[in-house]
Amino acid sequence: MGIFSNILSKLGFGTAQAAETATSATQAAPETTPAPTAISVVDVTGQLEAMAAKHPEKLNWKTSIVDLLKLLGLDSSLAVRKELATELGCPAEKMGDSAQMNMWLHKTVLKKLADNGGNIPADLL
């Protein structure tokens, strides 16, 4: 499982959808096609703010990929961030500069969370 998959899992992505799909498949009669189920929206911002309120450190997850990973209880080391950046397709020119890579990574992770049904405010994208 990739690092981004771990992020999705920590935020509860896919759990409700998988259960809904399994339920729909078992309840559907052979002659009927189940209606497509909408992707459920995950309240990413609400979850992260709740986690931040309980966290012993003051973490700025809205701008820092390191703090975002820490808040989720994931390894935030440079090696892991480089692995995540590679997984998400970070441009080579940004990989050599950790500050540029971190900024790219933070924006990309939030965008991908939104692409997967997470509610991310426009000002964070």
Counted domains in the chain: 1
Let me know: does 121 contact 45? Beta carbons within 8 Å: yes
38 lies in a domain? Answer: yes
Q: Could you give the CA distance from residue 27 to residue 31 in angstroms, rounded to a whole number?
A: 12
Residue 86 lies in a domain: yes
pLDDT tens digits, one per residue of 57-113: 999 999 999 999 999 999 999 999 999 999 999 999 999 999 999 999 999 999 999
Q: Is 16 a member of any domain? A: yes
DSSP class of residue 118 equals B
Q: Whole-angstrom Cα distance, residue 66 to residue 88?
A: 16
Q: 30 exposed, middle or buried (CB, 10 Å; 0-12, 13-18, 19+)?
A: exposed
Instruction: Answer whether residue 124 is part of any domain.
Output: no
Which residue range(s) make up the domain with 27?
Answer: 3-119
Which pTM value belongs to this model? Answer: 0.76
Which H or E run contains 3?
helix 3-10
Q: Is residue 125 part of a domain?
A: no
